[in-house]
Structure 1
Amino acid sequence: MSQSTSIPKKMQRVRDHGYDNYMEVEKKTRKVLKVQNIILNEHNQSLPISRLETLAHRIGFTRNTVFEIFEHPVQRVLFCRLTRQAILQIKQENEALLAQVPRAVTCLRKLLMMSNTQRLRLEHVRIARSALGLPDDFEFSVVLRYPQFFRLVDANERRNKYIELVEREPSLAVCAIENVRERIYRERGGDAEDVRFSFLIDFPPGFKIGKYFKIAMWKWQRLPYWSPYEDVSGFDLRSIEAQKRMEKRAVASIHELLSLTVEKKITLERIAHFRQAMNLPNKLKDFLLQHQGIFYVSTRGNQGKLHTVFLREAYRKGELIEPNDLYLARRKLAELVLLSPRKARIDRELVGYRRSRLDDEMGQITRVAVEDAYEDFKGEDVMDQDKDEEGNLTSDIGSDVDSDVGDEDNSFDEDSVSRQETS
């Protein structure tokens, strides 16, 4: 073991409840977003309670402060719509998303520079657009709007479209970890010589570090490697030393990918879409579990179906250390979801909030009827079991995902719900 610079392959996975709790909150907000999008797509931006009840059973929708019930003045039936706070949150998020488009352009340029061929499939970027801070119409508002940076290849068929980089920009080929090292070097001076190729390590609480693991980690931290932005096509990668450097380069590539995201996290399934373009290992879960001091893989948040990878150095006590406006806007929705309906009602009474009939001709239903209606369609929110999550974590995700490029967040069929309602 002392002769090797590799970290032991079999590592004990240690849970970090700060990240898992973060994903439990996101699970609730994800359900709300599904219903919220359906309501916004309706003509009157409201849903009848009968249809909402169907959605509640399908996605586990629960009572919260994002939606309110009112009585239709003509049909005399109960409808559901977004509250004023939810509408303001949507407006704030849209404004933050629009304001950070220049950052998203730079992010996409850097992402393409990390690719072997300077191109990525449009569909793969579309699936990861929310994590990268790209708008839904990024193909037109970002790619086609900046022809000096991007071009579309094979544009006749959407699934075969590629985003290609027009020209590399050397000033962008600097990793986030390199900026951290430079800051440490300036602070410590000559004492920081050992951090030249190292990463910030923060093991989860309860992680056991043995003597041989310390030795392997010490050697691995000092192992040179090629930058994710460096072209390695001309190197002979057959030697053991080259393979070790490529393994560490893969760590740097995933680290940089997470650094480019809005919340410094992304699902493992989305990382897998960029595996071939960035020379990442086939068994990504096992690879990331070897580096629990750099990354954290959470199975919480979607019944173990998705694995969310966090950049540990970017978080402290379950919160982003350097939050941005888009992250803060998204967290506003989580605050609304966690706010109890009773407290929200008291707050509205304190500020004397009432919807104006000039702004909304639907009117309002009485408080008692609202509470009774909520109780009728309230769904169950079942917590994930650790045993099931561990089983899902050991499942193989190393297969080729290029043939299955669906959006993992859309876990239910909206059209089927509509058909059930009309039948």
Structure 2
Amino acid sequence: MRSIIWQSVKQLTSKTTASRLFSQSTSIPKKQVRVRDHAYDDYMEIQKKVRKVLKFQDLILSQPNGIISASRLDSISRRIGFKQFESGRFVLKFPHVFEVFEHPVQRILYCRLTRKAAAQIELEKAALHRQIPDAVTRIRKLLMLSKTGRVRMEHIRIARKEFGLPDDFESSVILNHPQFFRLFDADETRNKYIELVERDCTLTVCEIERVREREYREKGVDAEEIRFSFLVNFPPGFKIGKYYKIAMWKWQRLPYWSPYEDVSGYDLRSLEAQRRMEKRAVAMIHELLALTVEKKMTLERIAHFRMIMDLPKKLKEFVLQQQGIFYLSTRGNHGKLHTVFLKEAYRKGELVEPNELYLARRKLAELVLVSPRKARMEPELASYRRDGLDDHTRDVGRDLDDVVDASYSDEDESCSGSDIDESC
């Protein structure tokens, strides 16, 4: 008798727990275990090295003539978190980026960038300048995603690298296009804002809508089946049960409002409206990531746009709820950094449709990944050639310089004609 009662209690408890795990608005489990995808995590481990290399590059380029003594480099590098004598070991790890040479007169060691690293910087600058028209379109679409049509200048400045904006974007992008943007200072907060002058209906097509059209034309799937669906690709090892498949099928067919649509006039108190708003938030994050150069952004920077885009408070849990659409990586900064990837834009850790700026930035990662054993170095670091380059490196650097010169000549011809919430 006791066993029968105990089994009935267990069944009732399991049913209650299962009903609680599923969201009443989307029927998808609210809390899910994050399943790792090593392709994205390995990508972030490479980016961790690249970020440190970029910090050292900025230190060296800020010095006169772009050279700095080894002793001064060690003292300045402590400001960016390096310990004593750690900068020397770090520089020697990447001989294809940093060159250590002995000054012919002072007889002390100096550090500078190699010709290949300098050529990569010029390539990135040229690519950044050529894609300014695309950057203007990105900012216009970003402002159209905002429910007020305005975004704080500081939030865009923090995420300028993700959107492919130069450091002087306020003058080169915003002020140079007064027909699209307007700058103003808020009286109550004294913050500078960027406001959209006029909405353009031709820019209100989301990236996911283009993907659906491509899927329809290439694969010939039923248009009604993919009308409101997203491309879903779960990570390896993700357990998909029968009830989860049913919930995902219902969620994929759920209608929702476009991220560019104004929903201020709708009654959002009903259960149906809550369902649509949750799926609209997924489309909002999807479109925000699609506007970036590398189709990724940290969760902390997405949180800056949370209020103006009506995103949920618990962003981390919300993103983890859609592991088939986004991937959340905690690699690269001892678990303190959360990077959100748009999964459909990547395949085997690389962009499916790479752009010029992405390829220019990738060249630096290639220099970082080259083994130090392939660099011809003297053990004592005292018998370097004055130009610091062997014949092979000289040829590669000359080829890169030719590419840079060609890009600049093309450029001349064309010119002549809130903080993240506690859950994260």
TM class by shorter chain equals 0.7 to 0.9
1:133/1:157 CA distance change after superposition, 3 Å: farther
Counterpart residue type for residue 162 of structure 2: A
Deviates more, 1:196-205 or 1:73-82: 73-82
Query: Of the candidates 314, 318, 334, which is equivalent to residue 365 of structure 2?
Result: 334
Matches within 5 A, 1:7-406: 7-54=28-75, 58-59=81-82, 61=87, 62=90, 63-64=93-94, 65-154=96-185, 160-189=191-220, 191-345=222-376, 349-351=390-392, 353=394, 397-398=420-421
Report the equivalent of 1:362. Answer: none
- Deviation of 1:159 after TM superposition, in Å, equals 6.7
Give aligned pairs, total: 362
| Bigger mean CA offset, 274-283 vs 36-45 | 36-45
Unaligned runs of 5+ in 2: 1-18, 378-387, 398-418
Given that 2:300 and 2:338 are in contact with CA atoms closer than 8 Å, whether structure 1 keeps it comes out as yes
> Match for residue 409 of structure 1?
none
Report the residue type matching 1:48 in the other structure.
S
Larger CA deviation: 1-10 vs 129-138:
1-10
Residue 408 of structure 2 is matched in structure 1 by none
Check 1:179–1:154 CA distance in 2 against 1; reply closer, same or farther (3 A cut): same
Point out the more displaced range, 126-135 or 340-349: 340-349
Offset at residue 48 of structure 1 (A): 1.1
The letter of the residue matching 2:51 is R
User: Cα distance 1:196–1:18, how it changes in 2: closer, same or farther (>3 A)?
Assistant: same
Q: Alpha-carbon deviation of 1:43?
A: 1.2
The percent of aligned pairs where both chains have the same amino acid is 69
Q: Is the 8 A contact 1:35 1:55 kept in 2?
A: no
What amino acid sits opposite 2:355 in the alignment?
N
Which fold has the larger relative contact order, with Cα–Cα distance below 8 Å and residues 6 or more apart in sequence?
1
2:160 and 2:286 mapped to 1: Cα distance? Answer: 18
- State the partner residue of 2:3: none
**CA distance in structure 2 between the partners assigned to 1:243 and 1:228 by the alignment:** 15
- C-alpha separation in 2, matches of 1:352 and 1:257: 40
> In 1, Cα distance between the equivalents of 2:190 and 2:293?
25
Report SS of the residue matched to 2:223. Answer: helix
The letter for the 2-side match of 1:353 is R
Post-superposition Cα deviations, 1:294-334, rounded to whole Å, max 9, x if no partner, equal: 00000001121210000000000011110011001111001
Given that 1:151 and 1:163 are in contact with CA atoms closer than 8 Å, whether structure 2 keeps it comes out as: yes
For the 8 Å contact 1:4–1:216, the answer to whether it is kept is no
Aligned-partner residue type, residue 38 of structure 2: H
Deviation at 1:5, TM superposition (A): 3.7
Report if the CA contact (8 A) 2:97-2:368 is conserved.
yes
Name the CA shift for 1:90/1:156 in 2 (closer, same or farther; >3 Å). farther
1 CA distance for matches of 2:280 and 2:99?
50
Distance 1:280 1:269, change over 3 A: same
User: Aligned in 2, Cα 1:246/1:352: closer, same or farther, shift over 3 Å?
Assistant: closer
Rg larger in structure: 2
Q: Secondary structure at the match of 1:89?
A: helix
**TM score, norm. by length of structure 2:** 0.81
CA distance in 2, matches of 1:20, 1:355: 31
Counterparts of 2:297 and 2:119 in 1: how far apart (Å)? 26
Shift, 1:4, TM fit: 6.6
Alpha-carbon deviation of 1:53?
2.7
CA contact under 8 A between 1:253 and 1:278: conserved in structure 2? yes
Q: SS of the residue aligned with 2:194? A: strand
User: Alignment partner of 1:32: what SS?
Assistant: helix
Deviation at 1:246, TM superposition (A): 0.4
| TM-score, normalization by structure 1 | 0.81
CA drift at 1:54:
3.8
